Chain A
Amino acid sequence: MKMTRLAAAIAATMIAAGPTLAETLHFPSLSYRTGPFAAGGIPFADGYSDYLTLINERDGGIGGVPIRQTECETAYNTERGVECYQSIRGDSPLVLQPLSTGITYQLIPRTMEDGIPMHTMGYGRTSAVNGEVFNWTFNYPANYWDGASVIINYLLDENDGSLEGKKIALLYHNSAYGREPIPTLTRLAERHGYELLTIGVDSPGQEQGSQWLQIRRERPDYVVMWGWGVMNPTAIQEAANIRFPMENFIGVWWSGSQQDVLPVGAGAHGYKALAMHGTGMDYPIYEDMQRYVIDAGKYAGTGDEVGTVLYSRGMYAAMLAVEAAKKAQEIHGVAAITPAMMRDGMANLEITEELMAELGLPNFGPAFSVACENHGGSGAAMIQQWDANAGEWNLITDWIEPDRELIMEMAMEDSLAYAAENNIEPACLN
């Protein structure tokens, strides 16, 4: 009896929640505010949502068309991610940002089939840089292989151009995400003569005793980490426990936020991580953010994440999405764009330093442009270092370029293998 009433109520809501009549631009957010990865998911989702709210409140939407936001909880779980995708795919979502490499792998073939663009900023399938095979997937401005190469280039710089005889350990989350940089680091090891040691940590990563024992035994010169969620603070704590020199411990951009270092306290001092964008509140955009979103009480979540690293990343992702939508409106001359038009906007996106300054985010991210042959942007990243005394991340380098030639070569191999497996004829969509 109860079940039937519940089912009836649901059926009624399903009918009521039919297609919306007013013209809006639908930006869904596949977020995760629960589960072992919520510490990373919450600030990103807040930043993404707050920026879109700001555009709505300040500019009245994009090109006069208001933004409609929806949120779906995935808990970083691929099955729930697929369920979320199914629930929004009929609602003309302009761009999907699942913030999970596992979900990205699920959605790549589906979005290709349904014609929905997906932006995986700094995660996902690296070989999606080849836009001739992955027409609907974008991973600008940087991807995992760029990140791995930037770290190696940084270490080369530190060691006067040679890593001969050095030993580098990769501590990775044992999932599609963590395994992604292994091919690049292996190839670079052949080229630069360092020894690569790969050490996997099973998800979620609270247990790392044996891995750090191995690190203590092997005594690597550097430890590079591909971690996420609860794995990050655990690893940094373990490193502090064995007195591993923190300045030789470098995380990817997903292992370098406040949530990762704060629990370790003073022990985390000197830990380094990649930065694919600036961080902190010293950008003019926060004046508007304060006025239109935070003071107006329209912020997402609890509003206590503003200005953190991952909040900034969510904001950056939303900013790139909005710019792509503007580009799409410009190309097609219509304000109410469709997902297919959005794809054209993303494929022709051009971010210049002037544009960033105009948006109130000067020097926040790299200048780059997207083309069909290159969905990956510039790939440059900076290195940031944690100052536990001041409690802030400091950028210690300028933009470091990755070894793009090698990465494009590897991405070509991988994407063409994918194309052959799935009978895709590589071609641009334009």
Chain B
Amino acid sequence: MLYREAGDFKTSYVADSQTFPIRFDRYGYYFILGFAFLVMPLIINDYWANSIVVPFLIYAIAALGLNILIGYCGQLSLGTGGFMAVGAYASYKLMTAFPDFNIVFVIITAGLITAAVGVLFGLPSLRIKGFYLAVATLAAQFFLIWLFTRTAWFYNYSPTGMISAPTREVFGVPVTGPRASAVSMYMICLCFLVVTAWLARNLTRGTIGRQWMAIRDMDIAAEIIGVNPLMAKLTAFAASSFLVGISGALLFTVYLGAAEAGEAFGIDKSFLVLFMVIIGGLGSIFGAFAGAFFLIVGPVLLKLLLVNGLGWPTDLAAHLEIMIIGALILVFLILEPHGIAALWRTIKEKLRLWPFPY
């Protein structure tokens, strides 16, 4: 009844192959976009922006990127933290070397540099698969962090090895550095997320995306039907690293403001983003959002509830938080091994039939 498709006729191929073919979905999407761009900037306060919404937006970009690699192309990667660090350090070097270079282009260039590095570390994927590839990308993670902590050039020879983002403006409004307001930080992250999500969605349903999926499903068969595995795997690494690099650059410039490779982009970052992709749902754009929401916003909401709401001691709450999130991950994976996105698909099927299921 709510979720009705009856009478929603498509009269052209374009209309039939659009991202949201069901009218109800489409309006929901427009509503969310409108809400995010028009209403949120008016109602968001500093705390919600800085602790919940901005990190969610940034990690959603990283999850989108990793989802292309793992979910669409089937190449397991544990180097996400290292690639985010490439994005962060590239943006730092660009910001300090060219102070007049607009921050938006700095972040995009940082993404492109990360894409190049990603392709380089993606080369072993042509020879090795599965867990062995995971180990090779793990080596990339440790190598990159080692490089950024040992090579003083990357942090401009600062005695502590910390990098810190100077203030940069977009249309005269500071978006990085301590003077950036919550709304401007939110808006720049939102713009990047919407553009990258649009990019990811359209990449994955076009020729390249179909090649990726063919490689994922069976690489030998894909090769026989004419998919070039070299191109497919390397473009997947490039596209994935591009998005991961953008998210690393945003995390450093907009959110953290100061960072240190080992601490901010360690192996735990790689696992965090991997869990987002797995819990959200492999091979789904919505899954990247759901996974990032679950693992970034979930713990903060839980902390607010336990510490601010119920007044429990902080250490007890922190331990409980780890246990509850861990238990929820298990429950999700047992009840719905294909992630939150699959859960959402099931709900959608039920809604389409409701209230007359057969």
Contacts and interface: CB of A to CB of B under 8 A. Distances in A.
A87 B47 contact: yes
Interface string A241-267: 000000000000000000000000000
Contacts of B256: 78-79, 82, 106
Consensus secondary structure, chain B interface: helix
A203 B263 contact: yes
B315 A106 contact: no
B39 interface: no
Interface stretch (A5-13, A337-345, A371-379): A5-13
A50 interface: no
B229 interface: no
A86 B47 contact: yes
Nearest to B314: A73
A31 B314 contact: yes
Interface residues of A, number: 47
Select the residue from B149, B258, B308, B317 with max chain A CB neighbours within 10 A.
Answer: B258
B50 A83 contact: yes
B118 interface: no
B160 A179 contact: yes
B178 A79 contact: no
Interface in A59-101: 71-73, 75, 77-79, 82-83, 86-87, 89-90, 101
Nearest to A13: B309
Given A78-B256, A102-B260, A106-B256, A176 B161 contact: yes
Interface string B237-267: 0000000000000000001111110111010
Interface in A181-200: 182-183, 200
A282 to B, nearest CB: 30
Contacts of A31: 314
B301 interface: yes
B333 interface: no
A112 interface: yes
B330 interface: no
B160 A105 contact: yes
Interface residues of B, number: 41
Interface string B304-335: 11011100011101110010000000000000
A75 B318 contact: yes
A390 interface: no
Contacts of A14: 304, 308
A34 interface: yes
Interface in B132-160: 149, 159-160
B71 to A, nearest CB: 23
Contact of B308 (A17, A86, A182, A200): A17
Given A110-B178, A113-B179, A183-B159, A79 B55 contact: yes
Interface in A140-191: 174-176, 179-180, 182-183
A414 interface: yes
Given A33-B318, A73-B318, A174 B301 contact: no
Nearest to A11: B304
Interface in A109-163: 109-110, 112-113, 125
Given A90-B46, A102-B263, A105-B258, A10 B51 contact: no
Contact of A10 (B164, B264, B301): B301
A324 B177 CA distance: 29
B166 interface: yes
Contacts of A102: 162, 260, 263
Given A79-B256, A86-B51, A109-B164, A174 B149 contact: yes
Contact of A82 (B50, B177, B266): B50
Q: Closest 3 CB pairs between A and B?
A: A33-B315, A109-B178, A13-B309
Given A6-B305, A10-B304, A72-B307, 14 more contacts: A10-B309, A13-B304, A34-B315, A71-B314, A73-B318, A79-B55, A83-B300, A102-B260, A113-B179, A175-B260, A176-B160, A180-B159, A183-B159, A202-B262
15 contacts: A10-B304, A13-B304, A34-B319, A34-B322, A71-B314, A73-B317, A73-B318, A82-B51, A83-B51, A90-B47, A105-B160, A179-B161, A180-B160, A182-B159, A414-B159
Interface of A: 6-7, 9-10, 13-14, 17, 31, 33-34, 38, 42, 71-73, 75, 77-79, 82-83, 86-87, 89-90, 101-102, 105-106, 109-110, 112-113, 125, 174-176, 179-180, 182-183, 200, 202-203, 414, 421-422
